[in-house]
Amino acid sequence: MPAARTRMTRQRAEILAELRKAKNHPTAEEIHARVRRALPKISLGTVYRNLELLAQSGEIQRLEGGSRGRRYDGNLTPHLHVRCLRCGRMADVCGAALEPALDGLAAEGFAILRSRIELEGLCAECAAPPDSSAQPLQTPDLEPDSGGPHE
Ligand SMILES: [Zn+2]
Ligand SMILES: [Zn+2]
């Protein structure tokens, strides 16, 4: 069906446009929230699938965010990233790129093709003193003896 194909392209173009606008290396969930303004019926699965396709075709960068989840970058210029150890937020690193020279490196049984460096740190929010505005982490479902009918 040509209609399905057109919709596919429209979705992908919308996702790509949002990602290029975003400067904060969003997750698939964040992209989904943005794209829904233009395409209210788009599902998270569709967004995720299209992001993976765009990454495979080299139109966007996929950033493995560790346990905090995968993030995406519409900026294809080579640059380094720093990841917040607490919240997983990622930002671009300014300054001289420090990619190691691959010449002269060898690993038995491997052809080395590229390197990927990810810096780690704390974002401004996470580095702020805890007494400023941060609320203590509390689990709200710790009610003592909620509604026990034994009385
Ligand atoms: Zn943080
Ligand atoms: Zn970036």
- Ligand with an atom nearest the CA of residue 76: 2
Q: What's the gap in Å between 75 CA and the centre of ligand 2? A: 6
Q: Are 91 and 124 in contact (CB under 8 A)?
A: no
Q: % helix / strand / coil in the chain, to the nearest 5?
A: 30, 15, 55
* C-alpha of residue 25 to centroid of ligand 2, in Å: 6
Owner of token pair 């740190």: 121
What ligand is nearest to the CA atom of residue 85? 1
Share of the chain above pLDDT 70, in %: 74
Task: Note residues around ion ligand 1 (Cβ under 5 angstroms).
Answer: 84, 86-87, 89, 123, 126
What gap in Å lies between CA 50 and CA 56, rounded to an integer?
A: 10
CA of 46 to the centre of ligand 1 (A): 28
Taken in order of first residue, the domains within the chain and their CATH numbers are 2-126 (1.10.10.10)
pLDDT attached to residue 11: 92
Q: What is the mean pLDDT of each run of 10 residues along the chain (151 residues)?
A: 58 95 92 96 95 94 79 89 90 75 84 83 88 54 51 51
d(CA 71, CA 61): 9
Q: Is the pTM above the cut of 0.85?
A: no
